[in-house]
A = this chain, B = another copy of it.
Amino acid sequence: MTGWLVIAGLGPGDDALITPEVTQALAEATDVVGYAPYVRRVPGRRGLQRHETDNREELDRAQHALKMAHEGRRVVVVSSGDPGVFAMAAAVFEAVEGGPRSWRGLEIRVLPGITAMLAAAARVGAPLGHDFCAINLSDNLKPQALIEARLRHAVEADFAIALYNPRSKARPDGMSLALKLLRSICEPSRVVVFARAVSTPKEHLRVVRLADASPNMADMRTVVLIGSSATRIIERDGAPFVYTPRSVPE
């Protein structure tokens, strides 16, 4: 049996957002590996072994998956969203680079998925309709000073900004530090979208102005979208639309 390793994105939560390519890979797999809540999204079947791991164990998990593929198993590492965006793909390639030379000969494929910021953006309109950036607010893996420098450049470039991992129990302050910085350099009417657990039964969306944004509006399942200076709110009965125009006048 020839083994392979697939790193697959399950999208933000709703199975209707999983690509057929990912569904097909899961149907052919012998093993599925990942953070427990994601592995549990994959229906069990005979011949499929599930390996649930804790969060923050990405490199161990990647090495385990590579070993199994090397032994001839057909392994799918699952991420939520897109595996290439603050998820498992980078961890797997780190493990490949640091691992035995033979791992470089493995068949390894990354299958993209719908990442949280694009699911969130779609839900409220088109806030990322012009140039934008994505910043991981977690300071587990980088210094807080770098996060703040990137936020400053993003605002000066007038990007719309997607903030991933804005807040967790281990890092209660990331979102309040970010809001404090944003308030010091953006106008108070800047549009902010808090999008929690989009496409799941726990979905909750909130569109506010920067002056009214509070760190408590984010938790570990939230992605936060900060508009550019051009981002607009269209008021109507029900939830407003939010969009960033395609053009910037001369």
The digit string for A78-117, where 1 denotes a CB below 8 A from any CB of B, is 0000111110011111101100000011001111111100
The digit string for A144-184, where 1 denotes a CB below 8 A from any CB of B, is 00100110011011110000000000000000000000000
State how many copies of this chain the complex holds: 2
Tell me whether A246 and B94 are in contact in the complex, defined as CB-CB below 8 angstroms, given that A16-B24, A20-B18 are known contacts: yes
The reply to whether the CB of A54 lies closer than 8 angstroms to some CB of chain B is no
Point out which of A93, A125, A149, A159 has the most chain B C-beta atoms below 10 A from its C-beta. A93
Contact A133 B159 (CB under 8 A): yes
Q: What chain B residues lie within 8 Å of A47 (beta carbons)?
A: none
Identify which of B93, B113, B127 contacts A126 (C-beta below 8 A). Answer: B93
How long is the Cα–Cα vector from A134 to B82 in the complex, in angstroms? 16
Closest CB of chain B to A34's CB: distance in Å?
16
Give chain A's interface residue range (CB within 8 Å of chain B).
35 or more
Given contacts A15-B20, A105-B237, A110-B121, 17 further A-B pairs with CB under 8 A are A16-B21, A17-B19, A86-B130, A86-B246, A89-B243, A90-B130, A90-B243, A97-B232, A104-B237, A111-B122, A112-B118, A132-B134, A133-B154, A146-B158, A146-B248, A149-B157, A157-B157
